[in-house]
Amino acid sequence: MDVVSNIIQMQELAGKLKSEGKTIGLVPTMGYLHRGHLSLAARARQENDIVVMSNFVNPLQFGPQEDFAAYPRDLERDNKLAESAGADYVFAPQGEEMYPQGYGAYVQVRGEAAEKMCGRSRPGHFLGVTTVVLKLLIITQPNRAYFGQKDAQQAIIVRKMVEDLDLPLEIVTCPIVREGDGLALSSRNTYLSPQEREHALALPKALGAGRALILQGERNPSRVREEMRRVLESSPGIRVDYVEVVDGKTLQELPVLQGYVLLAAAVFVGKTRLIDNIDLEVAPCTAAC
């Protein structure tokens, strides 16, 4: 496996691989890899000739009061994990390589999907996401790019950007990877104390409670949201950011739950903000509902 830090070198390498008829799968990451990232690389390995993992902590998607400086970084560790997962190249640029002095080009996806949930809680976050993802797509020239379902809103927004800009690639969303007790894997889990780690289990518990209510026949999104919020607000150490029950493809509000539905929530556990979601296909309500 080779590590590339220069944009022009990565572009030339990707162009050469494409000219040879090779397909490229890109796994964009901010490093501090865990089994969730490695599952994306494994999927990319199955579906492409070449796998590129990017490793770049993107300052544009952090707000002024957020954890950019404290975000965990360990490139040597990450490179070993990336190689073990089958990556052929790691693209790991420095900040000044991606955003040199005088940088001023940004890309924004507008609309409801980008303005609610994390878009409302973290103003400017998705502007940073779409800008860096577009740059990574231009640099690495992938046939497919792989994103985790845990960041469902991000994947929806990136897919919209790719469609609207007629970019010739496929966005692939892969399932959430969880710990044995249900907590979704996240690089930010490293911030949690042992007690906070226990408190964080309220997040998958709340999502599971919402799912159970739907499976019992509930089709009113407000009641499902209320149940999820009740579980979170009754749990110690949890501060709720948002709870949503929406269309899983567009993030639009649903008057009645049916079709592809996303249950999503964000909470603070101490100072750490965690997100999680569950998606499911919901049958139309019948007389039995």
The predicted-structure confidence for 73-105, as pLDDT tens digits, reads as follows 999 999 999 999 999 999 999 999 999 999 999
| CATH 3.40.50.300, domain 187-277, yes or no | no
Average pLDDT over residues 40-67: 96
Torsion sign, CA atoms 214, 218, 221, 222:
negative
Rounded Cα gap, residues 162 and 134, in angstroms:
8
Instruction: Please list the active-site residues.
Output: 37
Locate the domains of the chain by residue range: 2-174, 187-277
Q: Could you give the C-alpha distances from 250 to 51, 149, 189, in angstroms and in order?
A: 29, 14, 28
Average pLDDT over residues 54-60: 97
Q: What is the pLDDT of residue 232?
A: 98
pLDDT at residue 287 above 70?
A: no
pLDDT in tens, 176-210: 999 999 999 999 999 999 999 999 999 999 999 99
Q: What is the pLDDT of residue 248?
A: 97
Q: What confidence category does residue 148 fall into, taking pLDDT thresholds of 50, 70 and 90?
A: very high
Q: Enter the pTM of the model.
A: 0.95
CB-CB contact of 53 with 27 (8 Å): yes
Average pLDDT over residues 49-54: 98
Q: What confidence category does residue 284 fall into, taking pLDDT thresholds of 50, 70 and 90?
A: confident
pLDDT at residue 288 above 70?
A: no
pLDDT at residue 289 above 90?
A: no
Domain 2-174 fold is Rossmann fold (3.40.50)
Rounded Cα gap, residues 37 and 44, in angstroms:
11
* HEC secondary structure over the chain: CEEECCHHHHHHHHHHHHHCCCCEEEEEECCCCCHHHHHHHHHHHHHCCEEEEEECCCHHHCCCCCCCCCCCCCHHHHHHHHHHCCCCEEECCCHHHHCCCCCCCCCCCCCHHHHCCHHHHCCCHHHHHHHHHHHHHHHHCCCEEEEEHHHHHHHHHHHHHHHHCCCCCEEEEECCCECCCCCECCHHHHHCCHHHHHHCCHHHHHHHHHHHHHHCCCCCHHHHHHHHHHHHHCCCCEEEEEEEEEECCCCCECCCCCEEEEEEEEEEECCEEEEEEEEEEECCCCCCC
pLDDT at residue 227 above 70?
A: yes
Same fold, 2-174 and 187-277: no
